[in-house]
Amino acid sequence: MSSTFEDRVYWVTGAFGALGAATVKRLADAGAHVIASSRNVDTERFADSPRVVPLSVDVADDHSVRAAFAHIEERFDRLDGLVTSTNVAAFGDFLDLTDDDWQRVIEAKLLGSVRPIRTALPRFIEQGRGAIVAISGRGGIAPPPNHFPGSSVNAALDLLVHGLGRKYGPHGVRVNAVAPGPIRSPRFDAMASAQAGDEPTRLTALDGPGTPEDVAAAVTYLLSDDARFVTGTRLYVDGGGPPYA
């Protein structure tokens, strides 16, 4: 698969979170140039990879997103794919969550995906090719009781990629989602803490939780030419979901 990515250019938002960073590393190792963007950039995170370009971008600010795309165009004069991996955690009982809690998740994950996609799409349409992957989550169809804001946004992202995949497929643009289940990360630890009082259950049919690298492998597949006939769909990386009792 590595020849698929040689010297191609990909933009990954939320690139310094667990899932985004694993995706950046996998793409760079496969020979791609990767723009690793985040509001807070750790310049040391990918210091050993000359193919990674850290870029400070606030996906809650449309001007910042458009300026980032202009920078990518100026530097590379091409873009082959986009991965949106931005997320904000808002866990708690539904009755305790405020409008601000909901709005933070909507701004960061839903609109934080919409803005980069909206910015990159004209380029993909013009060149007649491009691959977009939005990282949503299993909560989009099976919401944990303490995670309604994130789960609602996951469902919205899944619906969005289905619609965009159908609309822009005729232009050669593929749009898909990866829906992780329990993945070992700081976010997973926060969710586990929020559910500390719940009755313990096995999280996945396979031995889990998974790893960020598991998600990165799925994202990379959907970006690759191997997935040339895959669009408008959601790929679960969730260990098969909770097993039957």
CATH number for the domain including 155? 3.40.50.720
Count the Cβ atoms, other than its own, within 10 Å of residue 112.
26
pLDDT tens-place string over residues 23-36: 999 999 999 999 99
Confidence (pTM): 0.91
Q: Which of 1-15, 72-86, 227-241 has the lowest mean pLDDT?
A: 1-15
- Those residues whose C-beta lies under 8 Å from the C-beta of residue 118, and which sit 6 or more positions away, are none
- Domain range enclosing 24: 2-234
The answer to whether residue 88 sits within a structural domain is yes
Distance CA 47, CA 224 (A): 25
Strands 52-56, 81-84: parallel, antiparallel or unpaired by DSSP? unpaired
pLDDT tens-place string over residues 149-184: 999 999 999 999 999 999 999 999 999 999 999 998
Distance CA 156, CA 174 (A): 18
The answer to whether residue 52 sits within a structural domain is yes
Tokens of 5: 């990515």
Whether residue 82 has pLDDT greater than 50: yes
Whether residue 200 has pLDDT greater than 80: no
Q: What pLDDT, on a 0 to 100 scale, did the predictor assign at position 201? A: 54
The answer to whether residue 241 sits within a structural domain is no
Q: What pLDDT, on a 0 to 100 scale, did the predictor assign at position 92? A: 92
Whether residue 189 has pLDDT greater than 80: no
Structural domain total, the chain: 1
Distance CA 76, CA 33 (A): 9
- For residue 13, the surrounding DSSP H or E stretch is strand 9-13
Q: What pLDDT, on a 0 to 100 scale, did the predictor assign at position 190? A: 60
CA neighbor of 62 nearest in space, from 110, 111, 10:
111
pLDDT tens-place string over residues 2-52: 468 999 999 999 999 999 999 999 999 999 999 999 999 988 899 889 999
Q: What pLDDT, on a 0 to 100 scale, did the predictor assign at position 194? A: 54
Q: Is the dihedral of CA 45, 50, 56, 61 positive or negative?
A: negative
